[in-house]
Amino acid sequence: MANIISILNPKGGSGKTTLSIHLARALHNSRHKVLLVDTDKQGSARDWNEAGEGTGGFPVVGLDRPTLDKDVSSLAENYGWIIVDGAAKLEKMIASAVKAADLVLIPVQPSPLDIWACDSLVEMIQARQHVTDGIPAAAFVVSRAKKGTVLAREVCDAITAYGFPILHGAVHDRTIFARSMTDGSTAIDDEPNGSASFEINHLLKQIMEAFQ
């Protein structure tokens, strides 16, 4: 059965799709069989896949109905990992993605306002954990951080209040991420020894350790 990771944030612009694609690519490079599920009707991950003519090395499928948890479950036997790129603002879709997941990653920009926007998602995850003996696990990922900045104390306090950990290391707002998304590539392919690639692989190492 696949390990299922849902990357969710009700707020748009948090970097969900970029993180989803790059984690899927990193898993593929580690010789895992990966499926990326695009749940957004805008189809950004599917557009990326088409721009690259499917050269990412893993399939990308669109599932944009709130039956996602059942649909993903039917695919789980065929893959080692399933990455769910969550839609913004669609409460039923987000709830279904929470239900499907073993782990929910919550990408947030390093601002208290962005973190507080996750209130409803955190409540949804905690409600699910209450009836499933703690599943899914959940963690925050600092996303689209500006180079040279650090997490302010109020940001750390806001995240800590939710009771979910913060994965070590941020994903910074780098030009290469935007460029690779447009080209249908990834920063891992374009600059395998670069800082962006290091950030993704560092996150992936923590994620895989959590599943051991």
If you average pLDDT over residues 124-148, what whole number do you get?
92
Check residue 145 and give its pLDDT.
Answer: 87
CA angle 172, 34, 87 (to 5 degrees): 55
- Per-residue exposure over 2-22, b if at least 16 CB sit within 10 Å of its own CB, e if not: bbbbbbbbbbeebbbbbbbbb
Condensed to tens digits (0 to 9), the pLDDT of residues 2-27 reads 999 999 999 888 999 999 999 999 99
**Half-sphere CA count of 196, side-chain side, radius 13 A:** 23
Report the share of the chain in percent with pLDDT over 70.
97
159 backbone dihedrals φ, ψ, rounded to 5°: -70, -45
Whether 124 is in a domain gets the answer yes
Task: Supply 122's token pair.
Answer: 């955190």
What is the band of 53 on the pLDDT scale with cuts at 50, 70, 90? confident
Per-residue pLDDT, 17: 96
Domain annotation covers residue 51: yes
Which pLDDT tens digit goes with each residue over 68-93?
999 998 998 999 999 999 988 788 99
In this prediction, residue 128 carries a pLDDT of 97
Tens of pLDDT, residue by residue over 90-113, are: 889 999 999 999 999 999 988 888
For residue 108, being part of any structural domain is answered with: yes
Q: At 149, which amino acid appears?
A: T
The more confident residue out of 195 and 147 is 195
Looking at residue 37, its pLDDT comes to 97
What's the rounded Cα separation, in Å, for the pair 147 and 115?
19
Residue 212 domain-assigned (yes or no): no
132 falls within a domain: yes
Torsions phi, psi for 129 (to 5 deg): -60, -35
- Flag whether 208 is in a domain: no
In this structure, is residue 210 part of a structural domain?
no
Task: Assign residue 174 the CATH number of its domain.
Answer: 3.40.50.300
d(Cα 212, Cα 202) in Å, to the nearest integer?
A: 16
Task: State the total domains in the chain.
Answer: 1
Higher per-residue confidence, 151 vs 200: 200
Give the number of other CB atoms < 10 A from CB of residue 66.
Answer: 18
Residue 126 domain boundaries: 3-203
At residue 145, the 3 state secondary structure works out as: strand
CB 82 within 8 A of CB 4: yes
- DSSP annotation of 57 reads S
Half-sphere exposure of 111 (CA within 13 A, CB side): 10
| Chain centroid, CA 101 distance in Å | 11
What does the mean pLDDT of the chain come to?
Answer: 92
- Is residue 79 in some structural domain? yes
For residue 74, give the amino acid letter. Answer: S
pLDDT for 146 equals: 83
